[in-house]
Structure 1
Amino acid sequence: MARDYYEVLGVSRDASTDQLQQAFRTLARKYHPDVNKDPTAEDRFKEVNEAYHVLSDPDTRKRYDRFGEDFRQVPEDWEARAAAGAGGFGGAGRSGTRVRYGQGFGGTGGGINIEDLFGEMFGGGGGFGPIPGADQEASLELTVEEAYRGGKRQISLGGRNYRVNIPAGVIDGQRIRLAGEGGRGNGDAPAGDLYLRVRIKPHPQFRLDGRDVTVDLPVSPWEAVLGTTVAVRTPGGEAKVAVPQGSSTGRRLRLRGEGMPNPRGVAGDLYAEIKVMVPAQPTGRERELFEQLAAVSTFDPRRGR
């Protein structure tokens, strides 16, 4: 039996949207694998993420409250189908017995057999026949480099293994469809689809904005003043960038098309953001040269000239 999603988030069953969001943020910060190195943290983080994803959507939450862990097998339009096919859940099924769902999961109304329930609601005399399986969704975490390259990947969800073809250049929030890998259909009806929503992990160097990538570019004071050509790291490898003379910290140098690829259009750009670095412990000679520069230079950084 899967854990109750309300229990996972540590909230009551009547929790508001704001309470759900606050609980999720707190737990996500606590268990994110980049922060928490406990071997169990990643699984706990995924559990929290799944619970919030289900409960934060009003329609999905309603199905979960009614049917518990079987909610993914229930079509999104189950209420309309029930009303049209069986006069509502309170009506008699084809066997003449009444279908009871009142309290639903976690309540006092008892368990529900989804196959029996929908067999009575929609099968035979209901006139609806087989019911297609419900679509399902799960998260797929990728590094920036994995999202850039794409390729095939083996993943495991709910005890099942899937081979996923990741398009090169997927971005955060994009969904990858696995046709027919969702909830099982009723009778001869087809299964639903499984959608993997991409979540790109934070990176120590790359910052993503859609398909554009920003990376810090450390340069020395003399490189910033005189200009130079230096190597810069990109998700796809190393590239060369020309640093114009007179560059200060914060200046952004654009490398067109060096961001995340786009199979259906224009690739993103890479922005190298200059950071002028100084020696933390200058040698005696370096200090002497800087003192000579200070004595002859008329440059005032606070006036900009």
Structure 2
Amino acid sequence: MPEMLTGAGVWVRVVNPDPGELERLRERFGIHPLIIADLVEGRQAPKLERLSGHLYLNLWDVDRSGDDPATHTDIALVFNDHECLVVQNGPEDELRDIEALLLADALVPVTSPISGVYRILDAVVQDFVELGAGVERELEEVEEEVFDSSIREDYRRIYRLRQRIGRIDRAVSGLAEAITADRGEFEAMMASEPALRAFFTHLEHDVTGVAKLATAEHAALDAVVSSHESNVSTRQNQDMRTISAFAALLAIPTVIAGVYGMNFKNLPLVQWEFGWLVVGIAMVAIDIVVYVLFRRRGWLGDRRGERARPAAR
């Protein structure tokens, strides 16, 4: 159990601890058994609560190393005025370097557990702020694709975006609720460091802003998905009309050939030397007329004189 920042209180960081290690930590710091039970179970929803003189804050962290940032890791902070336990769970190559974060130069120096907790929270929230802004830009691009009839949208991209928004929403909405609902707990711990209050207020605004943005992005993406499904249905209908039109074009010569294929001597033009030529020309002429009619009705592509243009939002 490596200790760090002893000048700013007692800090202990553990990664993927087993139940035995957590039990030893409980005995050392006097942590409430319910907190230990949550840590043993793992992957708790973001929340903040006070138990046996400790504040217990759980949050989902974000791994930004890949092309599609995920929230496979979480951070649990168990702290009071004198000590802080940091428990990280998840793949070790995706975990945030807490020690480097706390030792780095920043506007808020780590002089106590609550200032260190702020530094960790701020780093996590700022990552989510950047992710939310990136999702917003991608959402605008997807909207342009879906509402532009000349572009066939990528449904895989739409559903990947929906997954990303869901991850951000689940991670941030719980954290925002925990921070805003229990702000008094943080206020009490900042009594000796009143300068921190402005920073926590700014942090609270950031996390609630990201939560609201994620909710708005969910609603906007629902409209995009509905439009995408409508586009798919429209394209399927167009395909069916095109298939039907070609079937009709093929049916005309088939019917005529079938009639003249009957073994009757008194059929028109049968006894004439150039009758076959007249019948062939009639087949082509009728097909051309029917083709033009289908084309004007939009069954074989865009109607004459129309160009594909973006649909109204």
Q: State the TM-score, normalizing by the size of structure 1.
A: 0.26
Looking at both structures, which has the greater relative contact order when contacts are Cα pairs under 8 Å and sequence separation is at least 6?
A: 2
Q: Structure 1 or 2: larger strand share?
A: 1
Q: Which has the larger radius of gyration?
A: 2
Q: State the TM-score, normalizing by the size of structure 2.
A: 0.26
Q: Structure 1 or 2: larger helix share?
A: 2
